[in-house]
Amino acid sequence: MQNNMQNTNPDANPDANPDANPDDVRTDAQNDVPTEFQRDLQRDIPQKTESERTFLQRQNARVADYARADPRRAFYIVAAVVLILLNIIIKFTMELPQPHVSLAGEPLMLNGPSWFTNSFLTTIIVDIILLALAFGATRNLRLVPSGLQNVFEALMEFVQNLAEGVAGKNADKYFAWVTTLFLFIIISNYSGLIPLVGSLGFYHPAEAEHATTLDGQLAMANGELLLVSAEARETQAAEAEHEKLVPLFRAPSADLSTTFALALATMFMVQYHGFSSLGGKYFKKFAFWSPSGQGFMKGINGFVSFLELISEISRILTFSFRLFGNIFAGEVVLAVISFLVPFLIPVVFYGLEVMVGAIQAFVFMMLALVFFNMATISHDHPEGQEAHH
């Protein structure tokens, strides 16, 4: 029966198919023989040895086992590699702007008043935000607070408890000032972290230099060229066409003029609270030219009074430079990191600056509170210190 079936299959028996072309009929042995094209292709492609295939299989299996054992860590590793590759691609394929760094606030108007700087404009905006927050938190007061009122009440309670712990019964006198300081400074610090602040602006012509040198010799003085070549004139014209970016906004606390003004106002209030509590004798501690005491103690008291005066002046500098230095340095670090590693890595430093901004506002408020309280303590009657607690 099987022989009959094989004889009736035309594919198995080429003689049974009279229409088949003898050239198309090949045996299995002939099909296994590679053609000339296949031999050339196998010769051009390097064949992997058995050891290489085994090694790759072992590595693939090891990676797969590691990913199955700890998928979260594997995800983090893959994400880090992808981020590094993206940073490299962005760095070398896109033209990134140079970071803009300026110590002082820059005038916004080319021919306008020099005091109207980008930091001054941002200060006005911060004041408006502060007033809007205060209005929004108090316009519809409820017995059970919610929303913005709840946030502000929690903040006020925190500052009130802090002031009472430092100043005792005098806390109410300092509460409004130190709270306003804290809110203004923290909003000012965070304003520099808002996107486009410090980068959105317009170009001003670069200031012409008062003197230009060429090959070590004076080439221009007071705007007049002195015996220079055509090459020097072209160089001077190119410099004149150079423009610099002036940001429209700048964090107020990143400008030394703003922090110095805050320090002056705070130290003025220190003197005010000292004078209002102790009267004219408050200023006796600064009178090093006429100290109290007799003999050797008079000299000691005079030296201490001189140190008190120096300390009061140095507080203005420490107040202003501490806040300015931390916020300005943070903005510079963010600008440099964003230029060097533009993709996602700056988020880490951004988070650090959020923390630094809050800490600096808190430190400024605490120092002001401590100085207010210290100014009301009489040095002549130490027992009077207990009356303030």
pLDDT at 206 over 70: no
Strands 217-221 and 211-214: antiparallel
Chain-centroid distance of CA 19 in Å reads 84
Q: Which amino acid is at 79?
A: A
Give the helix/strand (H/E) hosting 203.
strand 201-205
Give dist(CA 276, CA 270) in Å, integer. 10
Model pTM above 0.75 = no
pLDDT single digits (tens) 279-298: 878 777 777 676 666 666 77
Residue 117 DSSP symbol: B
**Domain definitions of the chain by residue range:** 158-200+250-388, 207-241
Concatenating the DSSP letter of every residue in 234-261 gives: HHHHHHHH-EEEEES---GGGSHHHHHH
For residue 202, what are the β-bridge partners? 246
For residues 186 and 356, give the distance between their C-alpha atoms in angstroms, rounded to a whole number.
10
Average pLDDT in the 326-351 region?
82
Q: Residue 167 in contact with residue 174, Cβ under 8 Å?
A: yes
Residue 201, strand partner residues:
247
CA distance 212 to 90: 38
C-alpha–C-alpha distance, residues 353 and 191, integer Å: 11
Query: Tell me, what amino acid is at 369?
Result: L
Q: Which residues contact 283 (CB under 8 A, 6 or more apart)?
A: 275
Q: Cα–Cα distance between 252 and 196 in angstroms, integer?
A: 15
Best-predicted range by mean pLDDT (6-15, 18-27, 94-103, 157-166) = 157-166
Cβ-Cβ contacts under 8 Å for 103 (sequence gap 6 or more)? 256, 328
Residue 263 has pLDDT above 90, yes or no: yes
Residue with tokens 């943070």: 330
pLDDT of res. 168: 84
Going by pLDDT thresholds of 50, 70 and 90, the confidence category of residue 240 is: very low
User: What pLDDT sits at residue 363?
Assistant: 94
Contact between residue 368 and residue 166 where contact means Cβ atoms under 8 Å apart: no
Query: In what helix (H) or strand (E) does residue 149 lie, and over which residues does it extend?
Result: helix 148-167
- 138 or 244, higher pLDDT: 138
Q: Is the pLDDT of residue 186 over 70?
A: yes
What was the pLDDT predicted at 323? 92
**pLDDT, tens digit, for every residue of 13-68?**
444 454 544 444 444 444 555 566 555 545 554 554 555 567 777 777 777 777 78
Q: What is the three-class DSSP state of 304?
A: helix
Q: Is residue 101 within 8 Å of 250, Cβ to Cβ?
A: no
- Of the two residues 322 and 74, the one the predictor is more confident about is 322
Tens of pLDDT, residue by residue over 351-389, are 899 999 999 999 999 999 999 998 888 765 444 444 444
DSSP category for residue 287: -
Q: How far apart are CA 307 and CA 2, in angstroms?
A: 121
Question: Cβ(79)–Cβ(325) under 8 Å?
Answer: no
Q: Shortest CA distance to 262 belongs to which of 170, 193, 327?
A: 327
pLDDT tier at 211, thresholds 50, 70, 90: very low
**Nearest-CA neighbor of 255 among 184, 187, 337, 192?**
192
Q: Among 16-30, 114-128, 135-149, 262-276, which stretch is predicted with the lowest mean pLDDT?
A: 16-30
**Angle 194-198-199 (CA atoms, 0-180°, nearest 5)?**
100
pLDDT beyond 90 at 260: yes
For residue 218, list its beta bridge partners.
213
For residue 189, give the nearest of 363, 12, 388, 360 by alpha carbon.
Answer: 360
pLDDT reading at 103 higher than 50: yes
Q: Kindly state the percentage of the chain with pLDDT values over 70.
A: 67
